[in-house]
Amino acid sequence: MNHYTLNIHGTLLDLSTPQVMGILNVTPDSFYAQSRMQTDDAIRQRCRRIVDEGASIIDVGGYSSRPDAEHISAEEEMERLRRALRIVREECPEAIVSVDTFRADVAEQCVGDYGVGIINDISGGMMDERMFATVARLRVPYVLMHMQGTPQTMQHNPRYDCLVEEVFTYFAERIDRLHDMGANDIILDPGFGFGKTLEHNYELMACLEEFIRTFDLPLLVGVSRKSMVYRLLGCTPDEALSGTTALHAAALMKGAHILRVHDVKAAADTMRVVQAIRDAAASNNKSVL
């Protein structure tokens, strides 16, 4: 695995060991009901559990990005985030905090007022043209995700002439723009479930290592309990943990650096198992040499 680090306000996060990003949703309508935290106590308990179970990053979201989600104002999104970020900072000051937003003004407030260390943008800068310049100026790592359409339209018959080529072109253009603006660290997210059919999602998973070889950037994978799991298995999001774990193992074996998850302990355990396989393989190679 290539050696990458992220500069989080002057402290380096080493990605030579994959990291777990635990999801903290403060939305009333996220697709997985058990991830919705609506009270102060629920937020406090959730962020503490994320850290205690082995995540180094807490990803806080105030805008639901599920298909056909309700569009809310920046003011409402920021109101939800303020409440959550205050609690997270009080309860888990040791955690790296990421905010899941596509709005530059929201990103700026979160970094400036609450010390947020990573901006996770589902739109790849498409839904706010100021986002790239903002994250470059703030000098924070930026998760660049691929999405076709918007959360309100992305699953309305998504189509590609050549999926992998189009996703690569999308990333190449945006990486160049971010570098030209002086962006600090870029993390790629293929955007599983965002403007993709079931078949599209598995096609991307099958060639995951090509993202790292092509762009030489760290890779974030977010597949936790998504439709690519529960539709394939004919179950519900509540029943999709085993399929999610299988995908996490596959993603790690293909080189993923960060897993964005609902179930932190299961993901952390999966990482330990995959790492044991890697260590054994490395030891065997040394013995042969």
| Sequence-distant (≥ 6) Cβ neighbours of residue 73 within 8 angstroms | none
* Residue positions annotated with a catalytic role: 226, 260
Decide: helix, strand or coil at residue 78: helix
Which contacts of 33-38 are long-range, i.e. CB under 8 A and separated by 24 or more positions?
A: 33/237, 33/238, 34/238, 34/262, 35/262, 37/84
Alpha-carbon dihedral sign for residues 166, 70, 37, 6: positive
What is the 3-state secondary structure of 132-145? HHHHHHHCCCEEEE
Quick one: tokens of 226?
């998504």
- Cβ proximity of 98 and 58 under 8 Å: yes
The Cα 39–Cα 37 span in angstroms is 6
Tell me if 196 sits within 8 A of 148, measured CB to CB: yes
- Residue 75's contacts (CB-CB under 8 Å, 6 or more residues apart) are none
